């Protein structure tokens, strides 16, 4: 989708600090981090939200989660713990409508989230 910010990042039309990439996923630092580690993990293929991703291609949601874990390991937060968040829909705070997982870590993460 030409007007999708994250599709433009996948196409390398917009710069991002990419930290991890596979054939089907891309991970880059959030521009407004909410924790010392705050990385967004996206499928390279456009899907609007987590609900659409769940019904998509065989194994793509799994690939996103595997990439999220790989990022946590690479960033050094896997051992102490990290959070993976999918905001799905405007009421949940989704502002970019290309599904993305937030990988958060490096500080205490309280519950319930804000």
Contact 47, 53 (CB under 8 A): yes
Of 47, 98, 100, 102, which one is the catalytic site residue? 100
Across the beta sheet with 25-29, the strand order is 18-21, 25-29, 37-43, 101-105, 82-85
Q: Which two tokens stand for residue 37?
A: 């580690």
Phi, psi of 101 (to 5 degrees): -100, 130
100: annotated active-site residue: yes
The per-type count for the chain, helices as H runs and strands as E runs, is 3, 5
Positions annotated as catalytic residues are 100
């Amino acid at each position: 989708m030409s007007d999708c910010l994250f599709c433009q990042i996948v196409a390398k039309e917009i710069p991002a600090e990419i930290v991890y990439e596979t054939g089907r996923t891309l991970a880059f630092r959030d521009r407004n981090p909410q924790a010392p580690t705050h990385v967004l993990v996206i499928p390279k293929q456009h899907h609007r939200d987590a609900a659409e991703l769940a019904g998509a291609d065989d194994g793509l949601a799994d690939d996103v989660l595997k990439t999220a874990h790989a990022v946590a390991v690479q960033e050094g937060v896997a051992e102490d713990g990290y959070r993976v968040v999918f905001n799905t829909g405007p009421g949940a705070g989704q502002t970019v409508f290309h599904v993305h997982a937030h990988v958060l870590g490096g500080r205490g993460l309280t519950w319930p989230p804000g």
